[in-house]
Structure 1
Amino acid sequence: MSHWFIAGASRGIGLELARQLALRGARVTASVRSENGRAALQEALAPLGDRGQILIFDTRDAAQIHAAAAEVSEPIDALVANAGAYGPQRQSTLDMDFDGVLDLVNINTLGPLRVVQAFLPLLRQGERPRIAVMSSVLGSMALEGTFNVGYRLSKAGLNKIVQCLADDLKPEGVAVISMHPGWVRTDMGGPDAPVGVEESAAGIIGVVERLTLADTRRFVDYKGAEIDW
């Protein structure tokens, strides 16, 4: 069974991914930002016994991420970079919390790249290595609207990183895609979101399981439907 690494699994989509993968019997390594997130993840990974591993790091801290990666001894077949944030209240073009949005970019745009770089040696050892980076349709340059500019720009920047990462890793046989998980009923998505976390996670797993090098550099949703960059 494949070895999956889920970055950002203390709650929401990441936690549900870990839970569903554990129930399927996949080997799962997953991360939380602090000890506060360990208990819920530990419960989700309980069916795996010693085949589940929990790492602790903040995606803003490259040293922490590399130290955590050093704790993993087995090759990784699929990496899901899920950790992210929604940012400050003030993030419009007319009223911007610049420091808050800079921190958001550090988390949403650069954080996933730090994770990929740290765990890439383990991915290179995996069978059919795949990377799925959790973006958002709000990062599409084709989408109209002006709300949550900081979040949008963080995901648009992330999408460009995914494109470049896919091009750089294609010669090595590593597939890389950007994914929109849907508008999901989580703490971030809110109670009015139309997609349940179980549905989103199951869809993400299905897309990643089917992912091949022929799909690299795509931007898709949790059902596998194409999204305009």
Structure 2
Amino acid sequence: MGTYLITGIGRGIGQELTRILLSRGDRVIGTVRDPGQVPAEWEAFVKNGRLELLKLDVRDEASIADAASRVNEPVDVLINNAGIIGPDRQSTLNMDFEGFLDTLRVNTLGPLRVVQAFLPQLRRSPQAKIVTISSRMGSLSYAKSDRIAYRASKAAVNKVMQGLATDLAVDGIAAIAVHPGWVQTDMGGSGADISVQQSAAGLVKLVDRLTLKETGGFFDWQGDAIPF
């Protein structure tokens, strides 16, 4: 049994990851912008201490710091799950620049801010792991240009995770970026390839087997390495 900190558990992949981990006996510290988002069936887990809810907005440094100050225990796994698809208008030829900046705040700066804020708790775990939900859409091996703000934010967070892996190796903390698949969520749409249950189950298996040997890597939800 471990302690998992997951951002954005109110819906989608974050919610399903929480369900899987709670069902097998792990403790989850989950962040939401609105505590009213969480399913009613989780109330029992909140009461017995297996689930702790923290109000946190990854855009807001003060919000992150306040949430971190409320956690006084080791964190074994940090999963940066919170993310957005970005503005409606995000072409290289027609860009909503404020929307682009907001996408970077959430998808790139948010994960780094969260890691820095919770680093003391991660360092208290004997084999801590940091997993950031990224996307194959951010891979530089693809030349596609649709959703370019989203793609750029994911390419950037991949590099941030690679840098964290380098800097935290001395602490024995592994850090990776993960492509969750094209998932049937509000973001992925109903026509996506896989269900949220398939994606989350694969991600949990990947996290379970992750060691320092894989730190700095970029993987898909099935555990296969993919190019940056």
- For the pair 1:208 / 2:186, whether they are aligned, the reply is no
Instruction: Answer whether contact 1:65 1:114 (CA < 8 A) is retained.
Output: yes
Aligned length: 227
- For the pair 1:34 / 2:16, whether they are aligned, the reply is no
How does the TM-score come out when normalised to structure 1?
Answer: 0.96
* Partners of 1:50 and 1:2 in 2: CA distance: 13
* Partners of 1:4 and 1:185 in 2: CA distance: 24
Corresponding residue of 1:52: 51
* Partners of 1:215 and 1:45 in 2: CA distance: 36
Over 3 Å counting, the alpha-carbon distance change for 1:208 and 1:137 in structure 2 is same
What is the Cα deviation at residue 44 of structure 1? 3.8
- Counterpart residue identity of residue 29, structure 2: T
Corresponding residue of 2:139: 140
- Counterpart residue identity of residue 53, structure 1: E
- Counterpart residue identity of residue 76, structure 1: V
Secondary structure, counterpart of 2:122 in structure 1: helix
How does the TM-score come out when normalised to structure 2?
Answer: 0.96
- Counterpart residue identity of residue 46, structure 1: A
Corresponding residue of 1:7: 7
Residue of structure 1 aligned with 2:41, choices 43, 48, 51 = 43
- Counterpart residue identity of residue 105, structure 2: N
What is the Cα deviation at residue 47 of structure 1? 4.3
* Partners of 1:162 and 1:133 in 2: CA distance: 8
What is the Cα deviation at residue 66 of structure 1? 1.2
Over 3 Å counting, the alpha-carbon distance change for 1:30 and 1:157 in structure 2 is same
Corresponding residue of 2:174: 175
Secondary structure, counterpart of 2:5 in structure 1: strand
Q: Deviations over 1:203-229 (max 9, x none)?
A: 111101111111100000111011100
Corresponding residue of 2:86: 87
* Partners of 1:45 and 1:157 in 2: CA distance: 37
* Partners of 1:30 and 1:58 in 2: CA distance: 12
What percentage of aligned pairs have identical amino acids?
49
Secondary structure, counterpart of 1:99 in structure 2: helix
- For the pair 1:66 / 2:65, whether they are aligned, the reply is yes
What is the Cα deviation at residue 166 of structure 1? 0.6
**Alignment RMSD:** 1.2
Q: Which runs of 5+ in 1 are unaligned?
A: none
* Partners of 1:44 and 1:20 in 2: CA distance: 12
* Partners of 1:21 and 1:13 in 2: CA distance: 12
Instruction: Answer whether contact 1:22 1:45 (CA < 8 A) is retained.
Output: no
Instruction: Answer whether contact 2:22 2:50 (CA < 8 A) is retained.
Output: no
Corresponding residue of 2:96: 97
* Partners of 1:84 and 1:26 in 2: CA distance: 24
Secondary structure, counterpart of 2:54 in structure 1: strand
What is the Cα deviation at residue 72 of structure 1? 1.2
Q: Which runs of 5+ in 2 are unaligned?
A: none
* Partners of 2:165 and 2:216 in 1: CA distance: 5
* Partners of 1:35 and 1:129 in 2: CA distance: 27
What is the Cα deviation at residue 46 of structure 1? 3.3
* Partners of 1:167 and 1:77 in 2: CA distance: 19
* Partners of 2:131 and 2:44 in 1: CA distance: 24
* Partners of 1:31 and 1:21 in 2: CA distance: 15
- Counterpart residue identity of residue 16, structure 1: E
